[in-house]
Amino acid sequence: MTAVSETIFHTKDLTKVYRSGAQEVHALRGVDFRAARGEFIVILGPSGSGKSTFLNIVGGLDMATAGEAWFEDH
């Protein structure tokens, strides 16, 4: 029997640009991500690579500049 994993969170082409005056910081450039129910995931990367930005958007605390962030069918 094959277990079919249910997607809980997913993102498509998730993009975040911070703008302060003329300065632009491209924190996320087209992130495609999928998390299945019960899956254990570690997000690794150096400081400033966009981990918090990503989690803030997926967690509903911040808005993406472009792309999609889904929780179940929302």
Ligand X SMILES: Nc1ncnc2c1ncn2[C@@H]1O[C@H](COP(=O)(O)OP(=O)(O)O)[C@@H](O)[C@H]1O
- Catalog residues that contact ligand X under the rule CB under 6 A: 18, 20, 25, 27, 45, 47-53
Closest distance to ligand X from the beta carbon of 55 (Å) = 8
Instruction: Write out the binding residues for Mg ion, residues 41-60 only, by CB under 5 A.
Output: 51-52
Give Cα 57 to chain centroid, integer Å. 6
Listed residue (73, 72, 70, 66) closest to 30, CA to CA:
66
DSSP state of 65: S
- Closest to Mg ion by CB, 34 vs 51, is 51
Binding site for Mg ion (CB under 5 A): 51-52
